[in-house]
Copies of this chain bind each other. A is one copy, B any other.
């Protein structure tokens, strides 16, 4: 990052409302990745082979690496990282309780589609943030190179059993629905985050039309991911 980007970031973070919103956001992403770690570690038990187990466990380990980045940045911002994550526990845990995979393939689709949705959403928000926070968020959402693994496994399973495709397509829609439900809940509860999205005197924000366009983009990216898996969205 350039020196000027660093300065811009320090300046932005001097605004206490902005700083609070950034801490909220990093906390939400951090807790989301802790629970992604847990879910993937759990899914790895369902792996049909040792190779698959290592692939899914590697995805889990990557999520944990992101947690550490976010935790360290929260500490640097003078926040208690675990206190910053706590308000998001309930919504994220509920998302996972409501979308517990019943088999290996549902777990794979959830990892790919669910993480993809979360990443698209946070990337949209990151566009409104200072350069340093934006870079951190984008790095912490980086695909860990496992997408191709999921696509290959899911596509070949559907080729072998076409009915699986129907079931997984429904599953993908359910994941989208649950993700929206919990995201709305968080937005309603966290004033700082909502205010951030609404913008400020010196900072552009999202009006209703912009929020609409954002959801259109997220929905289109979701449909593209379902398509890559060979599923109707």
Binding site for B on A (CB under 8 A): 31, 34, 37-38, 41-42, 44-45, 49-51, 53-54, 57-58, 60-61, 64-65, 67-68, 71, 82, 85-86, 89
Complexed CA–CA distance, A49 and B83 (Å): 11
- A192 shortest CB reach to chain B, Å: 20
Residues of B within 8 A of A67 (CB): 54, 57
State the CA gap A139–B199 with chains docked (Å).
49
Q: How far is A31 from B53 in the complex, measured between Cα atoms in Å?
A: 11
| Identical chains in the assembly | 2
A82 contacts across to B, CB distance below 8 A: 49-51, 54
A23 and B61 alpha carbons, distance in the complex (Å): 25
Give 27 A-B contacts (CB < 8 Å), ordered by A residue: A31-B50, A34-B50, A34-B53, A37-B57, A38-B41, A38-B44, A38-B57, A41-B41, A41-B42, A41-B57, A41-B60, A49-B82, A50-B82, A50-B85, A50-B86, A51-B82, A54-B64, A54-B68, A54-B71, A54-B82, A57-B64, A57-B67, A58-B64, A60-B60, A60-B61, A60-B64, A61-B61
Once A38-B45, A41-B41 are accepted as A-B contacts, the answer to whether A61 and B65 lie under 8 Å apart by CB is: yes
Cα A134 to Cα B96 with chains together (Å): 43
A53 to B82, CA, bound (A): 10
